[in-house]
Amino acid sequence: MRFSFGLFIAAAFVAQDILAAPLGSINRREVPTKFLEKATAPSTLEITVEGHKFALKKSTSIQDGNNGIVYQDAEKDFAKTPLNAKGDLTTEAATTKAVHAVAGLLSGGQVKAFGTATNTGVGAETQWLITVAAQGSNLKSTKAFIAAKAAGKTECEALTKKASELAVAKAKAVFEATTTGGKGINHNDLNAGNIFYDDEVTKVETLIDWGSARKVASFPTTIANGQAAHAFNGFC
């Protein structure tokens, strides 16, 4: 779920370029026209994307979104397909490729394949984005958070504040590393499920879900701080 800061961001940057092809190696948009339905989507299926075959199972670790269904392949990497044209993954795929083009910036989340399934049968002609599973863990699953939560509210709040600051720092690092022509990529959706930490919460391993990203002229520190603080609100 996108929290209310997203509406503010959209208004603030309406004149900015929304990331779209060409970014990374994607140079044309193929709007999806065929979709699986959430109620009838099979628990397993096989698809072929960019010449690669993937045997998929419905994910039990990530919930489906409003506009997509999430599967995992045999290597436990994630495959997402939209439920409707609104969920078109072209921009997300392009942006994901762009941020991962910078060596050492993020751990996990790289694009394995993107495009329309060329197999026959179930899933034929549906759009898919397959990405490498992120390294690290969401905050609540880290040893540091579990220990801080057990220690009490003061310790827990200190850790969530640190986690928030680390998330903003990583988002800013991505912006700076991807800046070309006076604009860099801003993640734009720092919610708890999109941020992965090492077990001691000393660093952000990676950020995922680049579907809301924007290319902007300056990093929106105040907005990013608000997003990250809201992400961990109520954790303690």
Give the pLDDT confidence of 101-130 residue by residue, as tens digits.
998 999 999 999 999 999 999 999 999 999
Among candidate residues 114, 131, 148, the one where a domain is terminated? 131
Per the domain annotation, does 55 fall within a domain? yes
Same domain assignment for residues 148 and 90: no
Same domain assignment for residues 44 and 110: yes
Give the pLDDT confidence of 202-214 residue by residue, as tens digits.
999 999 999 999 9
Per the domain annotation, does 204 fall within a domain? yes
| Predicted TM-score (pTM) of this structure | 0.83
Q: Percent of the chain, pLDDT > 70?
A: 87
Among candidate residues 131, 165, 197, the one where a domain is terminated? 131
What does the CA dihedral 100, 103, 109, 111 come to, rounded to 10 degrees? 50
**Alpha carbon of residue 97 to chain centroid:** 12
Residue 188: which residues within 8 A CB-CB, separation 6 or more?
Answer: 6, 9, 212, 213, 214
Give me the helix-helix angle, 221-231 and 5-12, nearest 10°.
160
Distance CA(206)–CA(197), nearest Å, equals: 7
Among candidate residues 131, 155, 190, the one where a domain is terminated? 131
Same domain assignment for residues 127 and 76: yes
Same domain assignment for residues 116 and 25: yes
What are the φ and ψ backbone dihedral angles of 151, each rounded to 5 degrees? Answer: -75, -25
Same domain assignment for residues 76 and 102: yes
Q: Which residue has the tokens 């779209």?
A: 20
Same domain assignment for residues 64 and 97: yes
Same domain assignment for residues 42 and 69: yes
Query: 3-class DSSP state for residue 109?
Result: coil
Per the domain annotation, does 79 fall within a domain? yes
Same domain assignment for residues 69 and 166: no
Mean pLDDT of the 34-44 span: 95
Q: Which of 71, 50, 53 is nearest to 61 (CA)?
A: 71
Same domain assignment for residues 30 and 79: yes
Residues 101, 24: contact at Cβ < 8 Å? yes
Per the domain annotation, does 1 fall within a domain? no
Of the pLDDT bands very low, low, confident and very high (cuts 50, 70, 90), residue 62 is confident
In the chain, the amino acid numbered 74 is: A
Same domain assignment for residues 226 and 159: yes
Same domain assignment for residues 178 and 83: no
What integer best gives the mean pLDDT of the chain?
Answer: 88
Range of the domain at 70: 21-131
Per the domain annotation, does 35 fall within a domain? yes
Per the domain annotation, does 4 fall within a domain? no
Per the domain annotation, does 178 fall within a domain? yes
